[in-house]
Structure 1
C-alpha cells in the first residue's frame, strides 16, 4: 500500500472527511483522492461516501492491504489466495532486489519444511515469508530464525496458547507439560507441533545478500486437516483474527531482528528444549545428552553423558525420556 492510500485510510477511519478537505490535507487533486478511494474499495475496504464526505466502515478480513493497514512495522505485503510456496516467491523477489517484503498466502499448494519435507498448509493457516537484507555476516543469520520463533511464540501466547520453542525451528504446544503429567509421551517429545520456520540465505564475501524467513503456523485449521502430531490455534483456544495476528507477528519480529543477541536471550526463556535430554542427528553423527544452553547465534549446547560440551549448529532434535 502506498503512503497516500495509507494516509487516506487514516484520515477517514474515525470521522467523515469531505473530498476537497482530504485533497488539501494530502496535497493532491480531488480526482486523485477519488482514484485512491476507488483503489481501496477494489482492495476490499468499505468506504462510504455521503454529504459529509468519505468514511471508512470496514476493512477486508485478510489481504495484503488489510495487513498493511495499521501495521506498525516497515513491511510491504504481497498477498495470494493460493500459492505453491511463499518461500519460492520470496526468493524470486529477493533476486529482483526486494527488501522488507512479506509474501502472505491463505493456502500453500506446494509447501515444504526443512530437508524438503512435506508440510501441510491448508486455507485458514498463516503462511508467510519475509525477504530481508540484514547487515549481518552469514554466520549470524541463524539468529533471525530464533527471532522468528520468539515472535511466533509470543503472539501465540497473547492468543492464549501455551507455546514453547523446540530447537531449532518448531513451535510446540504440550497439554502434558501444562498439567505436569510427565508420563505422557508428548511431554517427552516436546508436544504437538503448532508452527515451523524455514530460513534460506544467499551471501558472499562475509556478508549476507538476502535472507528469506518462512513461517508456517496452523491458525484457524481444523483437526481433520492437520497431520499426525500437529495442533492449531483453533484446536487449542478457538479461531483468531489472522489479520491482527500477522500484524503482531511482524511487529514483534521487527523488534527482535534489530537486536539478534536479545532475540537469542528471549529464545532461552521460551525454550521447550533446554533442560531436556535430547538426541540430535547431525550430518556427522548422533549426539545424545542434556541440552543446557543455546549459544549465539543459535547453536544448541549439549552436555554429553561423558561430560563433554558440544555445540550443534544444525540437526534434527528429539526430546528423550529422562534416564
Structure 2
C-alpha cells in the first residue's frame, strides 16, 4: 500500500472527512481522493459516505492492505489468495533486489518444509515469508529461525493458545501426553561467510483450519481447534510480524526469549543429524541456536537436526 493510501485511511478512521478537506490535507486532487477511496473499497475496506463526508466503517478480515494498515513494523505486504509457495516468491523478490517484504497467502498449493517435506497449506491458514537483509555473518543467521518461533509463540499465546517450542523451531501445543504441531518454519538464505545477502523466513500457521484437513501423520492442531472459534487472522499476523521485527533488531536477546517458551530443555531427546544420531538430555541452547545435549560420552553441540522428545529425564 502506498503512503498516500495509508494517509487516506488514517484520515478516514478519524472521519467523517469531506473529499475537498481530504484533498487539501493530502495535497492531492479531489479526483485522486475519489480514486483512492474506490481502490480501498475494491480491496475490502468498507468506507461510508454521507453529508459529513467519508468515514472508515470496517477493515477487511485479511489481505495485504488489511495487514499493512495499523502494522507497527516496516514491512510491505504482497498478498495472494493462492500461490504455490510464499518462500519461492520471496526468493524471486530477493533476486530482484527487494527487502522488507512479506509474501502472505490464504492458501499454498506447493508448500515445503524442512528436508523438502510437503507442507499442507489449505485456505484459512496464515502462510507467509519475510524477506529481509540483516547485517550479520552467515554463521549468525540461524538466530532468525529462533526469532520466528518466539514471535509466533507469543502471538499464539496472545490469542489464547498455550503454544511452546520444540528445538529448533517447531511450535507445538500439548494436549494430554501428545504434542501437536501448530506451526512450521523454514529459513532460507544466501550470502558469503562474512555477510548475509538476504534471508527468507517462511512461517506456516494452522490458523482457521480444521486439523482433519491436514495430514494425520504430522499430528496437527490449529488455532481454531484449540480456541474453539476462529482467530482474527489480520490481528494475529500483525502481532506475529511486530514481534519478529522487534526480535530481529536485537539478535542477542533471542536465545533467552527462546528459552522462555522451550519444552526441549530438560528432556531426553534423540537428534538425527547429518553425522549420525545423538541421544541424551537437552541441557542448553547456544547462540545462534545450537542445542547442547548431555550424552553418556559427554556434551555434544548440535547445530542442525531433527529432534524427537523421548521420555522425561529422571533422577
TM-score > 0.5, shorter chain as reference: yes
Distance 2:49 2:161 in 1: 41
**Alpha-carbon distance between aligned partners in 1 of 2:192 and 2:61, rounded to the nearest angstrom:** 41
| Counterpart check, 1:289 vs 2:277 | no
CA distance in 2, matches of 1:211, 1:8: 33
SS at match of 2:81: strand
Question: Secondary structure at 2:124's aligned position in 1?
Answer: coil
Q: Which runs of 5+ in 1 are unaligned?
A: 177-183
Structure 1 residue 322, shift from structure 2 partner: 3.5
Partner of 1:180: none
Q: Provide the rounded CA distance (Å) in 1 between the counterparts of 2:64 and 2:290.
A: 35
Answer whether contact 2:155 2:236 (CA < 8 A) is retained.
yes
Match for residue 199 of structure 1? 187
Counterpart secondary structure, 1:274: coil
How far does residue 74 in structure 1 lie from its aligned partner after superposition? Answer: 0.6
In structure 2, the residue matched to 1:13 is: 13
Whether contact under 8 Å (2:138, 2:193) holds in the other structure is no
The 1-side partners of 2:312 and 2:80 are apart by 45
Say whether residues 1:216 and 2:207 are aligned partners.
Answer: no
1:147-178 Cα distance to aligned partner (Å, 9 max, x none): 000000011011111110001120000022xx
TM-score scaled by length of structure 2:
0.96
What are the ranges of 5 or more consecutive residues in structure 2 without an aligned counterpart? none
SS in 2 for 1:321: strand
Coordinate RMSD, CA, aligned:
1.0
Instruction: State the Cα distance separating 1:205 from its structure 2 match.
Output: 5.0
CA contact (8 A) 2:139 2:193 kept: no
Partner of 1:232: 222
TM-score w.r.t. structure 1 length?
Answer: 0.94
CA distance in structure 1 between the partners assigned to 2:193 and 2:224 by the alignment? 45
78-87 or 9-18, which deviates more: 9-18
Moved segments of 4+, more than 2 Å: none
Distance in 2 between residues matched to 1:115 and 1:48, nearest whole Å: 50
Alignment of 1:22-61 (within 5 A): 22-61=22-61
